Chain A
Amino acid sequence: MVNLGVKLKDLSLKNPVMTASGTFGFGEEFEDFIDLSNLGGILVKGTTRHHREGNPYPRMAETPSGMLNAVGLQNKGVENFCKDIYPRIKHYDTNILVNVSGSVIEDYVETAAMINELEHIPAIELNISCPNVKEGGMAFGTSCASAASVVKAVREVYKKHLMVKLSPNVTDITEIAKAVEAEGADSVSLINTLLGMAIDAETRKPLLSTVTGGLSGPAVKPVALRMVWQVFNAVNIPIVGLGGIMNAKDAIEFILAGATAIQIGTANFIDPQVTEKVVVGIEEYMKRHNVQDINDLIGALQIQ
């Protein structure tokens, strides 16, 4: 038996496979397809202090080897999550993480404080990188000072594992990673979507209602891998890698680049069973390479 278990500081995962927020609903949407207890963790939808309707349709455009989205954090707010959704999903035998987003620091703080009280939520992922909200969101994650200020404020009220999701839409992602580490982040997840756009030449119109949106899928994987590797060489906290992972081979590449765990996002739309397949595929890879412990692969990239 090989060991697939990893630890993000104090947070133990039975295997490194998690789901990316905004691609996995509340987990319930996938119960027909997979056994959630086979996953290391699930990230539920981006949750904000107040109800958000999200952006107008159209919110999605297919692009070469990927897709653009402009959902805009549609959700019913943290109170609805705590009251209606949490009781439905708290029994899942996996780590349930809530992705927390906001427009102003007070919203992040209040949302995180409420989720801190939920017994079966061992961690939050602080989303300072959503490209699809007008104010806040990505703006927090694109400067060291604002990223540090939101992490510092949330750290004061949130006592469990604090993961911070980083934006790739920056000049140097290692500077942001170091800034959030200094303010007490327990781990970083990267990358969120890359800001992009798509145009219909025939109609001369943008394909998204918001003109620009977030690019995900295999198209972003090389960028994501590069950033995981750069951040791995810059910080001491664990890294959760994501960006275009479609199969176990992709997942292994992120682990070799320095990720302790990985998240699968867009691939869930194409194959709702992909997460379970990646867990099995990682195990097969380890057997094939005679690796007993997944932890031996973290950052094991051989440069020379």
Chain B
Amino acid sequence: MNYLCLDLFLTDIILLGTMKKLVQDFEVLQRKELNDDHFVLDVKALEPLPEIRPGQFVNVLVKDSNTTFLRRPLSIHFVDYERNTISLYIKKIGDGTKKLGELKEGDSLNIVYPLGNQYSIPNNANTLLVGGGCGVAPLLYLAKHLKEAGNNVTTLLGVRSEKDAVELDAYKEYGNILVTTEDGSFGEKGYPTQHSILEKEKFDYVFTCGPEPMMKAVAAYSAQNNIPCEVSLENTMACGFGACLCCVTETTEGNKCTCTEGPVFNINDLKW
């Protein structure tokens, strides 16, 4: 399994080396409100989209916000090549993301993309995707790629309450969907790492994105069970393409840029 992983890794590096980064205006097609503070923004490229890999992100320019100076890095939630659209899954946190939540059909959005590396895609394996909060963002597009590569996909979402368990049908397209809620109002009560599936089933690969404590718990589960695990980090960044050196994460090989050498890291490379 490790040899397979290495092969994929090398292929990915070659592929990413040829990926040109772009800065382009997109047109907002629609904004879907998921609950009080989460929404999905579908934006249409004016030129044909380049290849975008699961785990990559965009950096969007927020207009008309007095307090937002820098772009906002956002995970790519889904890519629809037929419609030529990217979907962004956004949580309203500060003024910048609130302004994004006011965008209407036909509005323009300036985007730098595609940024960062990608999740590895194994073949014919039993894969587990664990997402929490806004960190579920990259998992839908990852689930699609994993299924297409012949993997069995189980997505496990950890949310606060039933109203936060959104888009479950979308995940079902690509495999099994499970939910934990903190208040027990839906699925199993507790955190994702407490879900009974982890006792029942043996997974070959784990992929995760979400709050750091959750990812650390997922990493600990994976390490204990000797399962390869990749996490997607969300550090504050200024540029998104390796120029500012602000978003570093500590790895076994020193500080690395989360934006260019991540956001996806194998847990063995992190000092967790």
Across the A-B interface, how many residue pairs have beta carbons closer than 8 Å?
Answer: 88
Whole-angstrom distance between the alpha carbons of A57 and B233 in the complex? 13
- A268's partner among B68, B236, B243 (CB-CB below 8 A) is B243
A271: chain B residues within 8 A (beta carbon): 23, 61
Q: Would you call A222 an interface residue if the criterion is a C-beta within 8 Å of the partner chain's C-beta atoms?
A: no
**Interface pair A71/B246, CB less than 8 Å apart:** yes
- B245's partner among A66, A74, A217 (CB-CB below 8 A) is A74
Question: What per-residue 1/0 map shows which CB atoms of B229-266 lie under 8 Å from chain A?
Answer: 00000011111111111111110001100000000000
Minimum CB–CB distance for B245 against chain A, Å: 5
A33: chain B residues within 8 A (beta carbon): 21, 23
Interface size on B, residues (CB 8 A): 30
Q: Would you call A116 an interface residue if the criterion is a C-beta within 8 Å of the partner chain's C-beta atoms?
A: no
Q: Would you call A197 an interface residue if the criterion is a C-beta within 8 Å of the partner chain's C-beta atoms?
A: no
**Interface pair B70/A269, CB less than 8 Å apart:** yes
**Interface pair A62/B242, CB less than 8 Å apart:** no
Q: Would you call A29 an interface residue if the criterion is a C-beta within 8 Å of the partner chain's C-beta atoms?
A: yes
Q: Would you call A275 an interface residue if the criterion is a C-beta within 8 Å of the partner chain's C-beta atoms?
A: no
B112: chain A residues within 8 A (beta carbon): 272
B21: chain A residues within 8 A (beta carbon): 32-33
Closest to A217 in B: B69
Closest to B239 in A: A269
Whole-angstrom distance between the alpha carbons of A159 and B248 in the complex? 36
For window 46-60 of A, CB contacts with B under 8 Å fall at: 53-54, 56-60
Whole-angstrom distance between the alpha carbons of A59 and B71 in the complex? 16
Question: What per-residue 1/0 map shows which CB atoms of B154-178 lie under 8 Å from chain A?
Answer: 0000000000000000000000000
- B243's partner among A24, A58, A60, A64 (CB-CB below 8 A) is A24
Minimum CB–CB distance for B261 against chain A, Å: 13
Minimum CB–CB distance for B142 against chain A, Å: 25
Minimum CB–CB distance for B23 against chain A, Å: 6
Q: Would you call A25 an interface residue if the criterion is a C-beta within 8 Å of the partner chain's C-beta atoms?
A: yes
Q: Would you call A169 an interface residue if the criterion is a C-beta within 8 Å of the partner chain's C-beta atoms?
A: no
**Interface pair A67/B69, CB less than 8 Å apart:** yes
Q: Would you call B200 an interface residue if the criterion is a C-beta within 8 Å of the partner chain's C-beta atoms?
A: no
Interface of B is mostly: loop
**Interface pair A59/B246, CB less than 8 Å apart:** yes
Whole-angstrom distance between the alpha carbons of A29 and B21 in the complex? 10
B66: chain A residues within 8 A (beta carbon): 64
A24: chain B residues within 8 A (beta carbon): 243
B242: chain A residues within 8 A (beta carbon): 25, 29
Interface of A is mostly: loop
**Interface pair A23/B244, CB less than 8 Å apart:** yes
**Interface pair A269/B238, CB less than 8 Å apart:** yes
Q: Would you call B5 an interface residue if the criterion is a C-beta within 8 Å of the partner chain's C-beta atoms?
A: no
**Interface pair A270/B243, CB less than 8 Å apart:** no
Given A53-B255, A57-B249, are A67 and B238 also a contact pair (CB < 8 Å)? yes
Whole-angstrom distance between the alpha carbons of A270 and B244 in the complex? 11
**Interface pair A54/B69, CB less than 8 Å apart:** no
Minimum CB–CB distance for A61 against chain B, Å: 8
Whole-angstrom distance between the alpha carbons of A272 and B70 in the complex? 12
Q: Would you call A63 an interface residue if the criterion is a C-beta within 8 Å of the partner chain's C-beta atoms?
A: yes
A71: chain B residues within 8 A (beta carbon): 244-246
Minimum CB–CB distance for A262 against chain B, Å: 18
**Interface pair A62/B250, CB less than 8 Å apart:** no
Given A58-B236, A269-B70, are A32 and B20 also a contact pair (CB < 8 Å)? yes
Q: Would you call A273 an interface residue if the criterion is a C-beta within 8 Å of the partner chain's C-beta atoms?
A: yes
A217: chain B residues within 8 A (beta carbon): 69
- A69's partner among B61, B68, B241, B244 (CB-CB below 8 A) is B244
A67: chain B residues within 8 A (beta carbon): 69-70, 238
Q: Would you call A236 an interface residue if the criterion is a C-beta within 8 Å of the partner chain's C-beta atoms?
A: no
Q: Would you call A30 an interface residue if the criterion is a C-beta within 8 Å of the partner chain's C-beta atoms?
A: yes
B235: chain A residues within 8 A (beta carbon): 57-58
Q: Would you call B67 an interface residue if the criterion is a C-beta within 8 Å of the partner chain's C-beta atoms?
A: yes
Q: Would you call A65 an interface residue if the criterion is a C-beta within 8 Å of the partner chain's C-beta atoms?
A: yes
Closest to B238 in A: A269
B69: chain A residues within 8 A (beta carbon): 62-67, 217, 270
The 7 closest A-B pairs by CB, nearest first: A60-B246, A269-B239, A269-B238, A32-B21, A25-B243, A29-B243, A59-B246
Contacts A/B (CB < 8 Å), 6 sampled:
A29-B243, A32-B22, A65-B69, A74-B248, A266-B238, A270-B71
- B residues with CB within 8 A of A: 20-23, 61, 66-71, 112, 235-250, 254-255
- A residues with CB within 8 A of B: 22-25, 29-30, 32-33, 45, 53-54, 56-67, 69, 71, 74, 217, 266, 268-273
Known: A30-B243, A57-B247, A64-B66. 11 other contacts (CB 8 A): A22-B245, A32-B22, A53-B254, A57-B235, A58-B235, A59-B248, A60-B236, A61-B236, A62-B69, A74-B255, A269-B244
